[in-house]
Amino acid sequence: MNCPFCGGEMRKGTLSTDGRTLLRWNGDGESRGLLGVISGKGIIKNARMVNNRCELVSYICNRCGKLVADVRVEQM
Ligand SMILES: [Zn+2]
């Protein structure tokens, strides 16, 4: 895969957390609020739990540092 920003070659890899929380994405200035947290707003639904880690397949560009991933985010 080539980077959509600079055209450089991208490497496939995994974005991961230690598994204590799920991966979330929320827009700048958006407050999740208690209702949002309870309902799962912002959770990246296609991230998966593997060996107590939350993982998301992604591609990184070594030239410009961009990370590209296919995400499906829970909306409220
Ligand atoms: Zn790039």
Span from the CA of 40 to the centroid of ligand 1 (angstroms): 32
Q: What is the pLDDT of residues 11-46, one digit of tens each?
A: 999 999 988 888 989 888 877 788 887 888 899 999
Backbone angles phi, psi at 74, to 5 degrees: -65, 125
Span from the CA of 75 to the centroid of ligand 1 (angstroms): 29
Residue partners of 25: CB distance under 8 A and separation at least 6: 42, 44, 71, 73
pLDDT of residue 70: 96
Delimit the domains of the chain by residue range: 10-68
State yes or no: pLDDT of 67 exceeds 90. Answer: yes
pLDDT of residue 57: 96
| CA atoms of 24 and 44, how far apart (whole Å) | 5
Span from the CA of 73 to the centroid of ligand 1 (angstroms): 24
